[in-house]
Amino acid sequence: MRRAGRVAVSRLHQGAALAPARVGARGVRTQRGRVLQKALGQHLLVNRDSLRGIIDAAELLPTDHVLEVGPGTGNLTVLLLERAAAVTAVELDSDLHALLEDRVRRIGLSERLHAIRGDFLKTPLPRADALVANVPYQISSPLVRRLFSLDPETAPSRSVLLLQKEFADRMVAQPGTSAYSRLSVTCSLFADVRMALHVPPSHFRPPPKVESAVVVVRPKPLPEAFEDVDFHEFESMLRDCFTGKNKTLRSLFLRRSFAARCLFREQAPVTPAQASVRRATSTGRSGLDPADIERMRERLAAVLDAAGVAQQRPNAMPLEAFLQLYGAARDMGLRWTEAPAYASRRPEAEPTAELAAEPAQDQGTGAQGAGGNA
């Protein structure tokens, strides 16, 4: 019976995955006439080789419970049900959610699928052995942040993410490469990340305007040096460093404008709106005593010397060097944030726009947009 069921699943998948999408005045239609919403980032993965590549990258066991984000109409879901014991699929789009449930019901696997209509970023997550996602590109950063907010003891042991290639490149980038960024540092802190496969635009309907790639993310314990680190402050420090990632830290941190900003941080906690006004205030109009600014520059120089990173450039610094910088600053009472620290070693599950902001390089259903697998 199990063998016959798998044959039925495979045949349905082959017919659905390769069915051409139709382009009309309102946009791209699925084979069942459903108009995809480009505004939600709905690009359905329809290529059989890429779908199989994602399944292989997940290294699924017959006993695994899989959490899928952005299942679309279910091409990838059907393959997951072939390999795993159960699938929980989170889909934001109500029409695609209904199509997914109907498709799985028709092949007799409804009892192994739990389809949730909701936003992955806000939905309480069940325990799962693996997570698989065709990520709506515009939510790449918050989705990755939510993964990193989970305790490694309860998080999926591996997450297979289909992302915009530029974002994926930054996740796996090593120090000294052009793609190395604060995202690269954050990923190296929380997980082991590897590139699994490249997915060209022609493998989607409609084709996106960018290349895509699949990464495998495996959470890992935080290093001992991070035991006393507040992630909010650490991320703020990374943001400061990567404002000029090709410059030495000495040239970045000893600017008078940077020293003035550090003085602002030492004042009483402020609201985000007040912090924005302060950042926009030039040193000349800040009302700060020039002597205080010079003393702050001396403190910054001492922090860099204590960490041994004054002549290093952020684009070539490994995680360990950033941890040394953070530790030296903390020991000398230097703050990296304008608001009270959160005293948390992991990102917020639902970050503010400021904290989630990345350069505008993400594409990105399951949340505030819809990827989907067919």
Taking the C-alpha atoms of residue 324 and residue 335, their distance in angstroms, rounded to an integer, is 15
C-alpha to C-alpha distance for 225 and 327, rounded to whole angstroms: 8
Residue where the block lists tokens 């609201």 = 271
- Distance, in Å, from the CA atom of 364 to the CA atom of 208, rounded to the nearest integer, reads 10
- Give the span between the Cα atoms of 100 and 333, in whole angstroms: 54
> Which 3 state secondary structure label does DSSP give 224?
helix
β-strand pairing of 65-69 with 86-91: parallel
**DSSP structural state of residue 210:** S
224 phi and psi angles, rounded to 5 deg: -60, -35
The answer to whether 354 is annotated as binding is no
Half-sphere exposure for 4 (CA within 13 Å, toward CB)? 2
CA distances from 245 to 68, 160, 234 (A): 36, 29, 16
SS3 301: helix
Residue 24, burial from CB neighbour count under 10 angstroms (0-12, 13-18, 19+): exposed
Per-residue CA distances from 27 to 36, 205, 206, 344 (Å): 7, 11, 9, 44
- Helices 2-17 and 94-106, packing angle to 10 deg: 140
User: Is 45 known to sit in a ligand binding site?
Assistant: yes
Instruction: State yes or no: 5 annotated in a binding site.
Output: no
Alpha-carbon distance of 110 to 366, in angstroms, equals 19
Q: Which one-letter DSSP state was computed for residue 280?
A: H
CA proximity to 337, closest of 131, 329, 323: 329
Could you report how far apart the first and last alpha carbons of the chain are, in Å?
27
97 is in an annotated binding site: no
- Is 373 assigned a ligand-binding role in the annotation? no
Q: Which residues pair with 32 in a beta bridge?
A: none
327 is in an annotated binding site: no
The CA distance from 133 to 151, in Å, is 19
Rounded Cα gap, residues 184 and 163, in angstroms: 15
Q: Which residues are annotated as a binding site?
A: 43, 45, 70, 91, 119, 134
Q: Which residues are annotated as a binding site for S-adenosyl-L-methionine?
A: 43, 45, 70, 91, 119, 134
